[in-house]
Amino acid sequence: MTDPPDEPDDAELWRRIRADDADAFGLLFARHGPRIHGYVLRRSGDPTVAEDVTAVVFLEAWRRRGSVTLDQPSALPWLYGVASNVTNRWHRSRRRHHAALARLSSLPPRRPELVEVQAEAAERSRTVLRQIEGLPRRERDVLVLSVWEGLSHHQIAVALGIAPGTVKSRLSRARARLDPDAPAPPPLTPPTPLAILETPS
């Protein structure tokens, strides 16, 4: 992902955000919000809460601006990590930001066409989520970021704060659980979701 030449990169945006620049924060959302929303929607399978969760992801990013140093060219992997945590601990995160979420509810309703798009995406996600719900959460997190979001092992490691080797081992274990009869773990390059999730009949 390359930023337009007249727009600051994420590192510059984050530097401004750390200096309380709300407009820079808005630009960060415009840049990465749609992808984070898609991830949250697919993780939750629930279009009715996906916008709330997405908003909380960015509110958490804003809240942590003073303690987080961006040492990557893109903030996206870190935002994925925040999104993963917020999704996994939604009840607690919601309590922290309940006042902001109440204000969020005053936004105009989503356009019917958008509601339809989100509902279809959520339905597809629920089908897949049912197939991987038996995985330990740590393995599920890695699998989803790899397959659905297309992140590299390095990006997943940044997102989840784990070593790249741990990413590989969790992916390998997840695939082995989903396909226990396989003679060896599948290759680690991201295949299509169905190739991973189908088990032999």
Partner 1 sequence: MTPTPTLDAQRTDQLRSFLTVEAAADAARRRPVLTPARRRLVVGATAALLLAGGLVAVQSVGGSAPAAIAVEVDGEWTTVRIADIDADPDAVVADLRDAGFDAERRTLEVLRTDDGNRVAVGLGDDAPDGARGAVSVGGGGEGGAHGLVGLSVTLPDDVAPPSAPGESGRTLEIDPVDAQTSDGGVLVVEDDLLGAGIRFEPDGGVSLRAGTDATIVVATEA
Shorter beta-carbon distance to partner 1: residue 82 or 197:
82
**Pattern of binders to partner 1 over 134-163, x per CB under 8 A?**
--xxx--------xxxx---------xxxx
- The least distance separating partner 1 from the CB of residue 130, rounded to whole angstroms, comes to 19
Residue 49 lies near partner 1 (rule: CB under 8 A) = no
Two structure tokens written together for 16: 């401004």
The amino acid sitting at 26 is: G
Residue 126 lies near partner 1 (rule: CB under 8 A) = no
Among 12, 48, 73, 92, binds partner 1 (CB under 8 A): 92
Measured between alpha carbons, how far is 53 from 24 in angstroms, rounded to an integer? Answer: 21
Measured between alpha carbons, how far is 161 from 133 in angstroms, rounded to an integer? Answer: 22
- The least distance separating partner 1 from the CB of residue 65, rounded to whole angstroms, comes to 9
Measured between alpha carbons, how far is 46 from 153 in angstroms, rounded to an integer? Answer: 27
With beta carbons less than 8 A apart as the criterion, state whether 174 and 140 touch: yes
- The least distance separating partner 1 from the CB of residue 45, rounded to whole angstroms, comes to 12
Shorter beta-carbon distance to partner 1: residue 29 or 143:
29
Gyration radius of the chain's alpha carbons: 18
Contacts 24+ apart (CB under 8 A), 100-105: 100/55, 100/56, 100/59, 101/52, 101/55, 101/56, 104/51, 104/52, 104/55
Q: What crossing angle do the helices spanning 22-44 and 47-63 adopt, rounded to 10°?
A: 140
Among 72, 74, 131, 166, binds partner 1 (CB under 8 A): 166
Please, is 64 exposed, middle or buried when counting C-beta atoms within 10 Å of its C-beta (0-12, 13-18, 19+)? Answer: exposed
Among 13, 14, 44, 50, binds partner 1 (CB under 8 A): 50
Among 12, 48, 95, 103, binds partner 1 (CB under 8 A): 103
Interacting residue ranges for partner 1, rule: CB under 8 A: 20, 22-23, 25-26, 29-30, 33-35, 37-39, 41-42, 47, 50-51, 54-55, 58-60, 62-64, 66-68, 78, 81-82, 85-86, 88-89, 92, 100, 103-104, 107-108, 110-111, 113-114, 117-118, 121, 136-138, 147-150, 160-163, 166, 173, 190, 192
